[in-house]
Each structure stands twice: as structure tokens, then as C-alpha cells.
Amino acid sequence: MPRTAETASFQFNHTMVRVRDAESSVKFYTEGLDVLLFAEKNMGNFTLYFLAFDQGQNYKDISEEGKSQALFAREGVFELTHSHGTETDVSFASHSSGNSDPGKGFGHIAFTVDDLGVKIKKRLQDGKMKHIAFIMDPDGYWIEVVANGLKQ
């Protein structure tokens, strides 16, 4: 069905998960998966990290002023929320990935890639889904890696 004029602007902008140790998580995504750390906003007790792949937006040429607008005018943004102090709080339990209690809640995020090869440390599943790998981030969140161009 066609979208209405009223909803034609709608975009699925971002997904937010909380992380225990921002430094480890940001490093994992930016160095391990080559996601750009687009913006970092210190909100006082917590800091927000906005990650996104540069899909031709040429973010390096965008002013700081224009960055926030650009951030909310696209899909595929991943937001990490870090409550200050959790990274050194030894009594702080690990984050729930959503998958320790099967069948409930959050499941995973997924990246598509052209080649399920180098760079990503992967664990291919057996059986019929050989084009999919799952990796875990520092908090244990599941990341599905799907080879682009292949059918699920």
C-alpha cells in the first residue's frame, strides 16, 4: 500500500542499547566493524554514543552544527547509552543480551556485508543458514552478520 502524505517522512532512525563500558563498546564497533562514531553527547550522568555507517553522507565535511540534523535524517543509526561508573563497578552485573531467557525481549541487531570473510571474527552456524554469522559485542549483545545479496 502507498504511504500517506502524513507518514511519508517516517524513518526507522535508530536502535538504542545500554552498555557497561563505553570505551570497550565504542572500540568494538568502530575498530572491529568500521562503524563511524558520529556523535558523542555527555548528558551529565550518562553519555550517548551515536554510531552509523557513512553511506555517502561524507560526514567528515559536515559541520558540528549540521551533524545532529544529519543524524536524525537517516536510517541505520545505533545508539549506545553509558551510565557513568558502571565500567568500574565490580558489583555491576553484566547487561542482559535478551537471549539468556529464550523467547523473550530483544534479540539482536544485524549488519549486512558483502563478504563474510576477514575482519569480522565470525562463527558460522551449521545447517541451512551458512550465509549468516553471529558475533557478540562486549556486553553480549548478539550481532547477526548477513552476507549481502544472498537470500535468507
- Give the residue carrying C-alpha cell 548477513: 146
For residues 102 and 107, give the distance between their C-alpha atoms in angstroms, rounded to a whole number: 9
Catalytic residues: 144
Q: Could you give the count of Cα atoms lying within 13 Å of 150 in the half-sphere of its Cβ?
A: 16
Does 1 contact a second copy by CB under 8 A?
yes
Does 68 contact a second copy by CB under 8 A?
yes
Enter the C-alpha cell of residue 152: 535468507
How does strand 36-42 pair with strand 46-52? Answer: antiparallel
Judge whether 111 and 146 are in contact, CB under 8 Å: yes
Size of the site for a second copy (CB under 8 A): 66
Among 71, 116, 133, 135, binds a second copy (CB under 8 A): 71
Q: Which residues pair with 92 in a beta bridge?
A: none
In whole angstroms, the minimum distance from the beta carbon of 11 to a second copy comes to 5
Enter the C-alpha cell of residue 24: 570497550
16: phi then psi, degrees, rounded to nearest 5: -115, 135
Among 63, 88, 91, 152, binds a second copy (CB under 8 A): 152
Does 91 contact a second copy by CB under 8 A?
no
In whole angstroms, the minimum distance from the beta carbon of 8 to a second copy comes to 8
Which residues of this protein are in contact with a second copy, per CB under 8 A?
A: 1, 3-4, 6-7, 9-18, 33-36, 41, 52-55, 68-69, 71-79, 81, 83, 86, 93, 95-98, 101, 103-115, 118-119, 144, 146, 148-152
The annotated binding site for Zn(2+) is made up of 79, 108, 144
